[in-house]
Copies of this chain bind each other. A is one copy, B any other.
Amino acid sequence: MSHSVSPLAPRKYAKMPAIDGVRIATAEAGIKYRNRTDLLVMVFDKGTEVAGVFTRSRCPSAPVDLCRANLPGGKAGVLVVNSGNANAFTGQKGRATTSATAKAAAAAAGCGEGEVFLASTGVIGEPLDPAKFTGLLGEMAKSAEPARWDEAGKAIMTTDTYPKYATQKALLGDVEVTINGIAKGAGMIAPDMATMLSFVATDAPIAAAALQEMLSKGTAKTFNAVTVDSDTSTSDTLLIFATGKAKGAPPITDPRDPRLAPFRRALNKVLKNLALQVVRDGEGARKQIEVTVTGAKSSKSARKIALSIANSPLVKTAVAGEDANWGRVVMAVGKAGEPADRDRLSIWFGDNRLAHKGERDSAYSEERTSAYMKRDEIAIRADLGIGGGKATVWTCDLTKEYVAINGDYRS
């Protein structure tokens, strides 16, 4: 399957520095794809702390189960990710695969089995034979090198049209630390979270509990605020690893430690950057859509309405057609089931107010709005006029290419 690169791809990729304490190797295991890497190993130095968030699917994959089981330990020695097969809905066989992989990975990295983290992405329901890659792990762990983040980003892709990288520096005490992140997305992307895998690493000495608090909070306004098609994967996994190798940085254990503020901001930038890259590579995406709801009864209500707009096929096809069809935004507000007063509702596309206080804005210019709709990035705002709740979510348009990609996937 080959798809041309999304027109919303970044002009150039972030230059990813090495993270002290993280070594990377990739390989072509031939799990499903040919002539491309599909296996990633990240080996972490002893003492690396870990935190994670996962899909809310009631039918999670076997690797998600394993990560959830190991997370309370708070320590990571190795991460193994394969693309091409999700090892989801594979029953007892799936558990046997994660168990065999964990054993081989622990041996390869010289860590405990409870310090192994796994992620798989690809077809659901196909048994994943661990023999395809467990034999490779020893050599990969041995040859792993720090400066291979570019390769890591590529090895986890499925229908992504470009690899996704982000990096930030931040001060922790007086010491500059680094945060690197990679992600994959494409389809089955909805909050909570997405067919989305993302792995973040830092050399900062931050304990698992503090990492977890920052990651959970940061996810709410980033990865959990993007949707491609409202569909939630069985396999969504976002993990953060902190090696603590940044020399002279103060060890942090309390998430309320004020010295964490710059790190938290930088981490949130990495998460948001990656989340938007996922949206901009949504299957068939030609435009990014930012949906902001203001004036709602509460922030929770605003978020629900914003997602109703962002997930509406009629809104998304209108944007694909460069049609400022604000009537569909009214529809999506109405269907959300949240408190709303039709006669106080106002709607903007960019700076163009199309509807005001329950009817078409008399000053609305079709010409100016049509010109706006030709842009790559469309901002839709709905003000409900009944409270102070607000929320922003991001999505992409719904094009014929989405249908083509997803109608022809297995065939």
List residues of A whose CB falls within 8 A of some B CB. Answer: 55-60, 86, 88-94, 123-127, 187-188, 190-193, 229-234, 311-314, 317-318, 320-323, 325-328, 330-340, 342-343, 345, 354-355, 357-360, 370, 398-400, 402-404, 406-411
Contacts and interface: CB of A to CB of B under 8 A. Distances in A.
A399 B402 CA distance: 10
The 8 A-B pairs with the shortest beta carbon distances in the complex, nearest first, are A124-B327, A321-B407, A91-B359, A57-B334, A59-B334, A232-B335, A317-B406, A58-B340
B321 A408 contact: yes
A399 B406 contact: no
A360 B314 contact: no
Contacts of A345: 59, 89
Nearest to A86: B327
Contacts of A188: 314, 328, 331
Contacts of A190: 335
- Counted per complex, copies of this chain come to 2
A342 B403 contact: no
Nearest to A336: B58
B91 A334 contact: no
B359 A94 contact: yes
A90 B409 CA distance: 43
Contacts of A123: 327
Nearest to A408: B321
Contact of A323 (B90, B318, B340, B407): B407
Given A56-B337, A188-B331, 14 more contacts: A58-B335, A59-B334, A88-B330, A92-B359, A123-B327, A124-B330, A191-B327, A230-B313, A232-B334, A233-B331, A317-B402, A321-B411, A323-B409, A323-B411
A323 B190 CA distance: 11
B335 A231 contact: yes
Contacts of A337: 56, 58
A362 to B, nearest CB: 11
A382 to B, nearest CB: 11
A89 B321 contact: no
Given A58-B339, A60-B334, A233-B331, A317 B400 contact: no
A330 B126 CA distance: 13
A158 to B, nearest CB: 13
A297 B355 CA distance: 43
A327 B88 contact: yes
Contacts of A326: 125
Contacts of A403: 317, 320, 398-400, 402-403
A343 to B, nearest CB: 6
A33 B93 CA distance: 60
A332 B229 CA distance: 12
A156 to B, nearest CB: 19
23 contacts: A57-B334, A57-B335, A58-B335, A58-B339, A59-B334, A89-B327, A89-B345, A89-B358, A125-B359, A188-B331, A190-B335, A191-B318, A191-B325, A234-B334, A313-B406, A317-B407, A320-B407, A322-B410, A323-B410, A398-B403, A398-B407, A400-B407, A402-B403
A318 B233 contact: no
B406 A343 contact: no
